[in-house]
Amino acid sequence: MEVTGITIGGAPVSVGDRVVYPNGGICKVKGIETKQIAGAAYTMLMLTREEDNATVMVPESKVGSIGLRKVATADAIVVLFQFLSHSSTDPELDWKIRHRENFDLMSAGGLLDTAQVLKGLHALAQIRPLPQKEREMYDSARHQLVGEIAAALNLPPAVAENNIDYALTPPPGSGRTAPKDAPLDMKALRRSAVGKRSTTLGDLGDVEGEGEDIGLEGEDEEKEEEEKEEGAVEGGEEEEEGAPPKAAAKPAPKPKAPKKPKAEDKVVPAPAAAPVKAVVAPVASPPPPKAEEPAPPPKVVAAPPPPPPTKVVEPPPPAKGVAAPAPKAPEPVKAPPAKAAPEKATTKAAPEKAKPAAKAKPAPKPKAASKPAPAKKIKTAPKAKPAAKKGGRS
Amino acid sequence: VIRIVTLAEFDEETLALVVKKLHNAYGVGTEVGRKTTMPSEAYDPAADAYDAQKTLTEAEDVRSFGDDKIIFLTDRPLSLPIGPMGPGPIDGFADFGGLKAIATTAGLGKAGSISIADGLAKRATQQVGHLFGLHHCYDQRCSMLPGWADGFAGNPDVMLCPFCREKSEQRIMRA
């Protein structure tokens, strides 16, 4: 029986189909029901989670947006293992970036997204133990993958998990213990995965997120740049030794020097390998413009001299009141710098704001701090008292 | 209760060690059930090994309670369906989140590696962990580490990492 009106990735959903609910696991389609909620009628896609027989109701309008998709095909699983068994993952060490990326990937719920989380955290775990939250995410990602691989290939979950670990932790005699493969082209992988499962998974590729592709590429680019920077630095040193005059001529532009050779280096390796590096090559081409771009940006940064306006606010000189007026100054400064251009025009306003400062001036004469901070400084006062007490004690 | 069923000859010391380690790992009553034989239907001549899945289904059910976790111990090599990564080492097999598992001593006892008794205890602990819903772990000291990883043979002690221990306790509490 075909479920009327609901499609996933362009393919109609039938009762009994197995679908993947992001972060939820494999579910079986039970049918459609209309539910009255808060007086409104909603058409719900009824699912049963295979793991625990929990019932999941998905509003028809949300089927596409939550990332619901059909179980991956066997071909997509092959691509998945190709990704998992590749040894080029460098874990993201910044926990904020890592957590955000992993969270987004898990929410998207794509097959390769989940695999990317698992692989990244597994690589990180080889360096240091994972924090509790990430350990849970690692386990969740592994659970999702095991379930989907088992469902896609009709294997027992234990066998699916063994295969994941054959890929992540190659057994001794497998011959796959190479220290580091060439960088992996995630975009090409995703394309092939999406293409191979397009017959059953439709627009899964859309669900997986183009933004993530971009992020991945960015990471790859960064890594490549870093690697090549290292190489370039070494090369630069050699150049310095070999050609001292150039080094003397460009002492400061050293960082620029390595960037230019990058483009050359990238062009050289590209022709070596056919498909993967060919895809890498276009990635390599953009950097040169980047190398040129960075030069102007500093000028731009210098151009919008918002900092000078902050100096204009130098009325902190009336800082005879010492520390108290100084901290106050930066706060009002932030607003004016945007309109900093009309400096003299704003000066009229400035004195208005400066007036309180002027009031502060007379204040310090009697006993500086008390006047500028009417109510707030009352709070600070008690802090001073304990300090005095401490001093007394000491 | 975790019930141990032997499908081969094991000395008392080895069984006692397995019982002790399983009890320490999961805090659940563990006892040796009885000895049976490998089901001949499960033998796969092509692989010269016993099909682990068939063994679980064909082996005699000796449970006393409906929720008993049964771990079969054998010394014969096992086979499993080949996945996308091709054939690999097989320590045992568990019906993930289910009631039956099997662990083998095949491949243990090599020079410079973990002893048979310790290896069997670790493998049994891992398979029972799968019955409780635990996945493989990356912690080198954890018993849920894949059996072919370096840390498995390098750490003969049977123990669970904090995460696996907590998760197993939750599952046991829920059960």
| Residue A2: φ, ψ to 5° | -95, 135
> What pLDDT sits at residue A244?
37
For A128, which residue in chain B has the nearest alpha carbon? B139
Share of chain B above pLDDT 90, in %: 58
> What pLDDT sits at residue A378?
41
CB contact under 8 A, A85 and B95: no
| Residue B138: φ, ψ to 5° | -95, -10
> What pLDDT sits at residue A256?
41
Q: How far apart are the first and last CA of chain B?
A: 11
- Choose among B83, B89, B130: nearest Cβ to A153: B83
How far is the CA of A244 from the CAs of A37, A241, A247, A251, A260, in angstroms? 78, 6, 5, 10, 18
Check if A119 contacts B (Cβ < 8 Å). no
> What pLDDT sits at residue B46?
86
**Contact assessment for residue B175 and residue B161, using Cβ atoms and an 8 Å cutoff:** no
Radius of gyration of chain A (CA): 31
Interface test with B, best of A111, A137, A159 (most B CBs within 10 A): A159
Q: What is the pLDDT of residues A365-392, one digit of tens each?
A: 444 444 444 444 444 444 444 433 443 3
Collect the ranges in chain A with pLDDT lower than 70.
Answer: 1-4, 88-89, 174-394
> What pLDDT sits at residue A88?
65
CB contact under 8 A, B138 and A160: no
Share of chain A above pLDDT 90, in %: 27
Q: What is the pLDDT of residues A117-172, one digit of tens each?
A: 999 999 999 888 999 999 999 999 999 999 999 999 999 999 999 999 999 988 88
CA dist., res. B171 & res. B175, Å (int)? 6
Q: Which residues in chain B (60-89) have CB-CB distances under 8 A to chain A?
A: 80-81, 83-86, 88-89
For B102, which residue in chain A has the nearest alpha carbon? A158
> What pLDDT sits at residue A87?
73
Nearest-Cα distance to chain B for A5, in Å, is: 36
Nearest-Cα distance to chain B for A39, in Å, is: 37
> What pLDDT sits at residue A8?
84
Q: Reduced to 3 states, what is the DSSP secondary structure of residue A323? A: coil
CB contact under 8 A, A160 and B83: yes
**Contact assessment for residue B61 and residue B91, using Cβ atoms and an 8 Å cutoff:** no
Check if B112 contacts A (Cβ < 8 Å). no
Check if A160 contacts B (Cβ < 8 Å). yes
* Bridge-based pairing state of the strands A40-49 and A25-37: antiparallel
Check if B138 contacts A (Cβ < 8 Å). yes
> What pLDDT sits at residue A150?
94
> What pLDDT sits at residue B109?
77
CA dist., res. B150 & res. B140, Å (int)? 8
- Number of neighbouring beta carbons within 10 Å of residue A13: 23
**Contact assessment for residue A146 and residue A167, using Cβ atoms and an 8 Å cutoff:** no
Could you give the angle at the alpha carbon of B125 between the alpha carbons of B124 and B126, nearest 5°? 90
Query: Which residue intervals of chain A are DSSP H helices?
Result: 74-84, 95-108, 111-125, 132-153, 157-168, 186-201, 204-208, 210-242, 244-249, 256-267, 275-284, 287-292, 296-302, 307-312, 325-328, 330-338, 343-360, 364-367, 376-393
Check if B95 contacts A (Cβ < 8 Å). yes
> What pLDDT sits at residue A51?
87
CA dist., res. A156 & res. A146, Å (int)? 9
Q: Is the entire prediction scored with pTM above 0.80?
A: no
Q: What is the pLDDT of residues A86-103, one digit of tens each?
A: 876 678 888 889 999 999
**Contact assessment for residue A128 and residue A232, using Cβ atoms and an 8 Å cutoff:** no
Instruction: Identify the residue whose tokens are 């011959």.
Output: A175
Beta bridge partners of A193: none
> What pLDDT sits at residue A190?
66
Q: Reduced to 3 states, what is the DSSP secondary structure of residue A326? A: helix
Check if A49 contacts B (Cβ < 8 Å). no
CA dist., res. A357 & res. B9, Å (int)? 92
- Choose among B130, B148, B167: nearest Cβ to A158: B130
- Number of neighbouring beta carbons within 10 Å of residue A281: 15
CB contact under 8 A, B85 and A135: no
- Number of neighbouring beta carbons within 10 Å of residue A359: 12
Task: Taking each helix axis as running N to C, give the angle between helix A111-125 and helix A95-108, from 0 to 180 degrees, rounded to the nearest 10.
Answer: 150
Nearest-Cα distance to chain B for A183, in Å, is: 21
Nearest-Cα distance to chain A for B18, in Å, is: 22
Q: Which ipTM score applies to this complex?
A: 0.93
Cα diameter, chain B: 43
Nearest-Cα distance to chain B for A119, in Å, is: 12
- What tens-digit pLDDT sequence spans chain B (175 residues)? 899 999 998 999 999 999 999 999 999 899 898 888 888 889 988 888 999 999 998 888 777 777 889 999 999 999 999 988 988 899 999 999 889 999 999 888 777 778 899 999 999 999 999 999 999 999 999 999 999 888 888 888 899 999 999 999 998 888 7
> What pLDDT sits at residue A142?
95
Check if A162 contacts B (Cβ < 8 Å). yes
Beta bridge partners of B69: B2
CB contact under 8 A, B139 and A162: no
Q: What is the pLDDT of residues B163-175, one digit of tens each?
A: 999 999 998 888 7
